[in-house]
Structure 1
């Protein structure tokens, strides 16, 4: 019974770590939206959002041993990004409506969508295959039976 409690604690700790990482990633990405090099908008926040969301989902599934952590990390990321894209009372925004802001929202959502597809897609049922070198059991061929016709 003690090992089961330790495993549950490790899974709960993993969930907390992954959700905290998703919150931190969304915060960092939000502040990287206005990233320009020589006056040209560089979608660094969008690229990071895609790979971090996908990677955090994989890390969460590995740590927690359950696929539902993907949904939890997605909700945490969306909460921060939506809060950062709403104007304050003074009218200031963290995520602006420009190329980089849209790239962040689109790429981050795409990273989450890829992770959701990866862990929640329907998989075909597999039938056991005979081992190499063994022969599959032979099925009897039904013989034609004589039926009496009236």
Structure 2
């Protein structure tokens, strides 16, 4: 699909496409309502400013754990750097995920694209030292980065 085709969709269809990017209905509705966009960068900017702290919990519920072998769709593609990791790194990642979830009450959200399992583990361990407010701000920034990448992939021919 091109950006022009997405701009021409009815509101419900545009929202459905955006829900593949981020599982937050309010966000998808507001971003779809901001059409038309002249370019992908404009859409990405609107997607970022429309994302609020209130959206974070709902968005995280739509993301699998880093290293989850059952992750599908965009998450599986984004986590491909984890696929070839050795068993020790995967076990450490699973342990760190559990510690993170106990500390913060939600999944570890990170823009995994282009990162190895060891990098993701190191980032997770570092973020365990954050206080809850700092970590929430970091997670929201990571969600915005994930959304930017997913929007670019929606319009790969336009973003190239």
The higher radius of gyration belongs to 1
TM-score, normalised on structure 1? 0.27
TM-score, normalised on structure 2? 0.25
